[in-house]
Amino acid sequence: MLRRIPIAGLGLLLAVPALAHGAATEGDAASFDPFAGSIIVAAALAYGVGLRRAANGRRRLVPPLRAVSFMAGCAVFFAALASPLHSQADLYLAAHMVQHIVLVTVAPLLVLVGRPDLLILGVLPRRGRSSPARFARAALRSPTIAAAAHGIAIWAWHAPPLFDAALQNEALHALEHFSFVATALWFWAAVLAATRRASGRIEALIAVLATLIHGGILGALLAFSGRPLYPAYADEAALLGYAPLADQQLAGLIMWVPGGAFYLAVGLWIAFRLIGQETPPYSAAPSGKV
């Protein structure tokens, strides 16, 4: 049963945001959530176990640097969900935005660079012949579909009524974070997988570019709105005595500029892979499938 531990770890990791929120103490600047923290630690441990088991094979499945990346990703998830940032997010929209950006960019990408998928690959149905199974697999691997799902999650939750409802209701808030993290993991996994194939890089690049653009537009709308869009934060602002509009502008700009810079960097890395070298050997044989 030891084999299953990494899967369980990944599952737990997915559940972190959902669970973490329930335990957060409101307004406590030094909130440290042992529950969320222990789940992330458990995920990291599970990954470590998987790594050891894989290392028993003939060749190393995941190089050390990638393992470090996974652990770093866990640490970033930890920092985003179980740290003062989390409690600040209840007070400032801008802090909440920083948390969201971290949850959908750096953290999942670092985790995925660690190739947790390799450790659980043997369990997934690889040869399902039924057309729904094939369709589901194609959808899971498609950067376009993943980007669309991720985009819908981001835009839908920023609709003021939903965003405000999530602020009032912890279960909804957990669902919000869960859908961000889950679709982000999906998006980055599909993008990374497509980038590993030479023929998938253009689609991966377009998916990243499209996300860069629509994320920027959403940030722009927050930054240029003439009024506060999220009443819950306006109330906090009245209590704490800061300008809600400035908070919202900062939040929009964080999403737009640093958030966009992250997608830009990944996009350029994909482009660099796409450009390729002058010299790789080539044979003029026609491709097998036409």
Partner 1 sequence: MTAVRDLPNALPRPPGEEEALRRAWAAPKGIKVLSEINNSYIGLYYVSTAVFFFIFAGILALLIRAQLALPDSDVVSPDLYNQLFTMHGTVMMFLFAVPAVEAVGVLLLPNMLGARDLPFPRLSAYAFWAYFIGGTAFLGSLFLDVAPRAGWFMYPPLSGMEFTPDISADLWLLGIGFIEISAIAGAIEIIVGVLRTRAPGMTLGRMPVFGWAMLVFGAMIVFAFPSMIVATLLLELERAFDWPFFIAERGGDSLLWQHLFWFFGHPEVYIIFLPAAGMVSMMVPTIVRHGLVGYRLVVLALSATGLISFGLWVHHMFATGLPRIAMAFFSAAGMLVAIPSGIQVFAWIATFASGRFRPSAPAFFLLGALLVFVIGGLTGVMVAIVPFDQQVHDTFFIVAHLHYVLIGGMVMPFLGAIYYWTPAVSRKALSDRTGRIVAILFFTGVNVTFLPMHLTGLVGMPRRVYTYPEALGWGGLNLLSSLGAVIIAASVLLFLVDLTRNFRPTMRKTAGNVYGAGTLEWVATGINGFRSIPRVERREPLWADETLANEIEAGAWYLPNTATGHRETIVTSTVDARPQYILTLPGPGWSPVVAALFTAAFFLLLTVKATTIAAICGLIAVASILVWMWGADRGPRPAVPIGGGINLPIDIAGRHSHARLGTLVLMLVLSAIFAGLLFAYVYLWITDAAWPPAGIAPTSAGGVAGSALLLVAAAGLFLAAGRFLPRPGTGTGVLPSLGMGLSAIALLAASALDIWNLADAGVTPSGSAYGAAVFVIASGQALLALALAVVTGLLVAKALVGRINAERRLSFEVGRLLVLYAAGQGLVALVVIHLFPRIAA
Is residue 25 close enough to count as binding partner 1 by CB under 8 A?
Answer: no
Q: How far is the CB of 187 from partner 1 (least distance, A)?
A: 18
Q: How far is the CB of 148 from partner 1 (least distance, A)?
A: 9
Nearer to partner 1, 31 or 249 (CB): 249
User: Binding string, 256-285, against partner 1, x = CB under 8 A?
Assistant: xx--xx--x--xx--xx-xxxxx-x-x-xx
| Stretch of 66-74, 117-125, 128-136, 211-219 lying at the interface with partner 1 (CB under 8 A) | 211-219
- Furthest CA-CA distance within the chain: 71
183-187 own/partner pairs: CB under 8 Å, 24+ apart: 183/104, 183/146, 183/149, 183/150, 183/153, 184/103, 184/104, 184/105, 184/108, 184/150, 185/14, 185/108, 185/111, 185/112, 186/140, 186/146, 186/149, 186/150, 187/143, 187/146, 187/147, 187/149, 187/150, 187/211
Report angle CA 39, 13, 205 to the nearest 5 degrees.
Answer: 150
Give the footprint of partner 1 on residues 213-232 (CB under 8 A): 213-214, 216-217, 220-221, 223-227, 229
Is residue 162 close enough to count as binding partner 1 by CB under 8 A?
Answer: yes
Is residue 132 close enough to count as binding partner 1 by CB under 8 A?
Answer: no
Nearer to partner 1, 2 or 275 (CB): 275
Is residue 198 close enough to count as binding partner 1 by CB under 8 A?
Answer: yes
Q: How far is the CB of 267 from partner 1 (least distance, A)?
A: 6
Exposed / middle / buried, residue 10 (Cβ in 10 Å: 0-12, 13-18, 19+): buried
Is residue 168 close enough to count as binding partner 1 by CB under 8 A?
Answer: no
Q: How far is the CB of 170 from partner 1 (least distance, A)?
A: 21
> What is the token pair recorded at 195?
């980038």
* CB-based burial, 73-94: b 16+ in 10 Å, e otherwise: bbebbbbbbbbebbbbbbbbbb
Q: How far is the CB of 23 from partner 1 (least distance, A)?
A: 29
Residues near 150 by beta carbon (within 8 Å), at least 6 away in sequence? 104, 183, 184, 186, 187, 211
> What is the token pair recorded at 43?
């995920």
Tally of CB atoms within 10 A around 271: 15
Q: What are phi and psi of 217, to 5 degrees?
A: -65, -40
Q: How far is the CB of 107 from partner 1 (least distance, A)?
A: 23
Of 26, 56, 199, 239, the residue at the interface with partner 1 (CB under 8 A) is 199
| Stretch of 23-31, 47-55, 122-130, 205-213 lying at the interface with partner 1 (CB under 8 A) | 205-213
- How many chain residues touch partner 1 (CB under 8 A)? 50
Is residue 145 close enough to count as binding partner 1 by CB under 8 A?
Answer: no
Q: Please give the residue ranges that form the binding site for partner 1 (CB under 8 A).
A: 159-162, 198-199, 201-202, 206, 209, 212-214, 216-217, 220-221, 223-227, 229, 245-246, 249-250, 253, 256-257, 260-261, 264, 267-268, 271-272, 274-278, 280, 282, 284-287, 289-290
